[in-house]
Structure 1
Amino acid sequence: MTQTTSQSTFTPRVFSGIKPSGGLTMGNYLGAIKRFVGMQGDMQTIYCVVDMHAITVWQDPAELAKATREVAAGYLASGLDPAQSILFNQSAVAAHAELGWIFNCVARVGWMNRMTQFKDKAGANAEKVSLGLYAYPALMAADILLYHATHVPVGEDQKQHVELTRDIGKKFNHDFKTDFFPETIPVIDGPATRVMNLRDGTKKMSKSGESDMERINMTDDADQIAKKFKKARTDPDALPDTMEGLKDRPEAKNLVEIYAALDDRSPDDVIAEYAGAGWGKFKPALADLAVAKLSPISTEMARLMDDPAEIDRILANGAVKAREIAEPILQQTYDIVGLLRPAR
């Protein structure tokens, strides 16, 4: 018998995750983790280290395990409270892969062909990349809908994948004449939801950039943070009195938006304060602010990484809580599709 759920009855629930590959940057913090922490208490929050997504490209096994713990440490050091939010690593909940396969059978090849991130990552070698890299948006949809998540905080570059999640959920509901999966809303708000490179304001801050000076690593100490901001690329002009004046100044716009995000202010407020100022004034102020906000996180991350057993304990406890939500939803999905399982 097909089971249905009214859209209005879904519990407001947040889900999002970060891939453990290459180390956390300030882009991950401002674009994701800081926002995750800020959503605690507003509705049920579920956050994940998406280690299964990481292996769509080759990962050294020992480094993957370390990177998974480092992302978890970044969450915790930034203020994520395991008593308020569920925190776990994706591979610890097998239902992600199980629902991912069902969604592989729901999603259409044409939808996957339109995913711009695959095109960007595969480049000219599309025939040689893993099938997982091509199909991972279906697994991302499973990550979200496995918890009937209604809200997904993401950066602008992930909006297309959340829209695909909605398409997959809608097609499943249509094909099986049910309202089982909710329509998920991407949450994209605030300054610096897409943090750019400190040496090239037209490129996203990346873990894999050629120079370490391009990014702020969340493991950088106070001296490294200050040095990178003071040496960040700018232009010869002073700051204007409105954000509109930064329209064609990507490096300047990036630094103003980073300042605003770190200080919980609007970019307009920051530009009003520093209108007419030169970089000799603004960059040291930004460096001091970044050190004050970020170095305590890097210090706490180092402390946590010295106790991997504690990180593993928190992740394991979170996985138990995640399974309690995910397993009934997966079993109902199996019933809807008509897949038989041994009697329990």
Structure 2
Amino acid sequence: MSRNLTGFTPSGRLHIGNLVGAMRPIAAAQRADDPDATVAFISDLHALTLDHDPALVRERTLEFATLLIAAGIDPERSLLFVQSHVAEHTELHYLLECATGFGEVRRMIQFKEKSGRQEQQVRLSLLTYPVLMAADILLYGTTEVPVGADQRQHVELARAVAERFNARYGPTFAVPRAVLPPVAPRLRDVFRPEEKMSKSAPPGSGVLHLLDEPAALRRTIARAVTDSAADVAYEPETRPGVANLLALLAACTGGDPAELAGGFTGYGELKRAVADAVVAVLEPLQQRYAELAADPGYVHGVLRDGAARASAIAAPTVRAAKQAIGLMADQPPQG
């Protein structure tokens, strides 16, 4: 059985890169005959590893779930839930910590980067969250995890922990593998094309958020970095700003960036075309989001049902892991 899983951490605002690189592929992979084969979840526990506003985490969690549904994630054809609503995630987390070395998690690149940027005390959860991510993956018998290069190391840790646990305590977990998402342009910050678009980018960045108003999207694109050359050409290495605009246009229209370049004689014309294409893609999503946001009870119901379905899959995995590692997996008899 094949199962793929993708998590979205509500630590910022979803942007068009998330739509192109993750949300659309999930929607395309859904199956009416096997709705549990495609798993999407809001990884709210991961948002707690850094300083955060509790109210904003809750707000973003609902916003992300609503946007995923608006983008075509159908609860009848996929599994959608919130991580903290399924207790098995934290339960398996501890069991996997008992099979993971301190050195393994200390070497995680993201821990080094994020802990180095923090002025306040580094939270222990920032060190251990890759093990929670391993639990997220292994709970569901996940076989494929679509990830970019920055998350590949975490999937490799999940593989290593699963293989070690299976070798030491007996066959318990499916061993997942990282897979590249379906081919899509790698979208960059339009003001700083040397950086990828980021959910956590500060205000004033060149990120095109899914819920930005059309006028705001157009203003951001109008200020996008280009270069001093006279022609429009797709040359990512030497002209990253223009290449990023062409990649944006390709992502919205389905064209090829290099071929699209030939249709423009200047940067103003290119920016107007990119803005029109981005607005055309996001307006229907925003309209659907507004409809869903007006009836939050529906989204909450989807998340409740999704959590129940997820727990039904995850609970046997936890029982098997507890028994394998040496715990009494069942409650002792009463009386």
Taking structure 2 as the reference length, the TM-score comes to: 0.91
Give the letter aligned to residue 116 of structure 2.
Answer: G
Residue number in structure 2 paired with 1:214: 206
> Aligned runs of 1:1-344 on 2, under 5 Å?
11-41=1-31, 44-123=37-116, 125=118, 128-178=121-171, 180-192=173-185, 194-237=186-229, 238-240=231-233, 243=234, 245-265=235-255, 269-275=256-262, 277-340=265-328, 341-343=330-332
Identical aligned pairs, as a percentage?
Answer: 35
SS of 1:35's partner is helix
- The alignment partner of 2:98 has SS state of helix
RMSD: 2.0
Matched AA of 1:74 = L
Give the paired residue count. 327
- Paired letter, 2:331: P
**In 1: Cα distance, 2:188 partner to 2:119 partner:** 26
d(CA) in 2 for partners of 1:21 and 1:246? Answer: 29
- Whichever residue aligns with residue 288 of structure 2, its letter is E
In structure 2, C-alpha distance between the alignment counterparts of 1:336 and 1:96, rounded to whole Å: 17
Aligned equivalents of 1:218, 1:201: Cα separation in 2: 19
The CA distance in 2 between the partners of 1:126 and 1:163, in whole Å, is 29
Task: Give me the whole-angstrom Cα distance separating, in 1, the residues matched to 2:217 and 2:271.
Answer: 12
Could you give the per-residue CA deviations for residues 249-269 of structure 1, whole angstroms, max 9, x where no partner exists? Answer: 22222222222222234xxx2
The superposition leaves residues 232-282 of structure 1 with CA deviations (integer Å, 9 ceiling, x where unpaired) of 111122223xx5x332222222222222222234xxx23123236421222
Unpaired segments ≥5 residues, structure 2: none
The 8 Å contact of residues 10 and 57 in structure 2, kept in 1 or not, is answered as yes
In the TM superposition, what is the alpha-carbon distance from 1:179 to its structure 2 partner?
5.9
Distance change >3 Å, CA 111–CA 204, structure 1 → 2: same
The answer to whether the Cα contact below 8 Å between 1:216 and 1:228 also exists between their aligned partners in 2 is yes
Q: TM-score, normalised by structure 1?
A: 0.89
**SS state of the match for residue 220, structure 1?**
coil
Counterpart secondary structure, 1:47:
strand
- Which region of structure 1 is more displaced relative to structure 2, 334-343 or 140-149? 334-343
Greater than 6 Å deviation, 4+ residue runs = none
The 1:78–1:129 alpha-carbon spacing in structure 2 relative to 1, beyond 3 Å, is same
Deviates more, 1:288-297 or 1:218-227: 218-227
Higher relative contact order (CA 8 A, sep 6+): 1
